[in-house]
Amino acid sequence: MMPAMFHLAKKVAISKKDKRGFLVGAVAIRKDGTIVKACNSPHRGDRQNPKAHAEYKLAKKLDKYAVVYVLRVRRGDGSVGLAKPCPDCERTLRSKKVVKVYYSISDNEYGVLDLRK
């Protein structure tokens, strides 16, 4: 079973009026307990632009020691896919001193990046 924060990340992802097939939602818990949210935005030109990624947008709202949850969802059937942060987003999260990143792999599976190492 996935952590409860993935359910919130899914709501964040599908809340956008966006026609793309896959959407990404990211949620973080700051060290003071505050929850912050972000979702990906449509790619213009370069599909690999990390500034459009949910993790990058979320990192701009974080301080030290946050824990991040990232989920990728298919718009049509709501199935969950791989949402491991790209190297640029991982670097950005690491620079913000994020402790861990939990990311979806499938509907029943998730991975963990321990960024304290």
Q: For 82-111, how does the pLDDT look when each residue is reduced to its tens digit (9 = 90+)?
A: 999 999 999 999 999 999 999 999 988 999
Copy the structure tokens of residue 100: 């861990």
Using 50, 70 and 90 to split pLDDT, how confident is the model at 56?
very high
Cα–Cα separations (whole angstroms), residue 90 to 17, 30, 36, 48, 53: 27, 17, 18, 14, 11
User: What pLDDT is stored for residue 46 in this prediction?
Assistant: 57
Q: Is the pLDDT of residue 23 over 60?
A: yes
Q: What is the mean pLDDT of residues 20-48?
A: 85
Q: Is the pLDDT of residue 1 over 80?
A: no
User: What pLDDT is stored for residue 6 in this prediction?
Assistant: 94
User: What pLDDT is stored for residue 20 in this prediction?
Assistant: 76
112, β-bridge pairs = 102
Q: Which three-class secondary structure string do you get for the chain? A: CCCCHHHHHHHHHHCCCCCCCEEEEEEEECCCCCEEEEECCCCCCCCCCHHHCHHHHHHCCCCCCCEEEEEEEECCCCCEECCCCCHHHHHHHHHCCCCEEEEEEECCEEEEEECCC
Q: Write the single-letter amino acid at 51.
A: K
pLDDT tens-place string over residues 72-90: 999 888 899 999 999 999 9
Q: Which residue bears the tokens 């993790």?
A: 55
User: What pLDDT is stored for residue 44 in this prediction?
Assistant: 63
106, β-bridge pairs = 109
pLDDT tens-place string over residues 60-69: 999 899 999 9
How long is the chain?
117
User: What pLDDT is stored for residue 43 in this prediction?
Assistant: 67
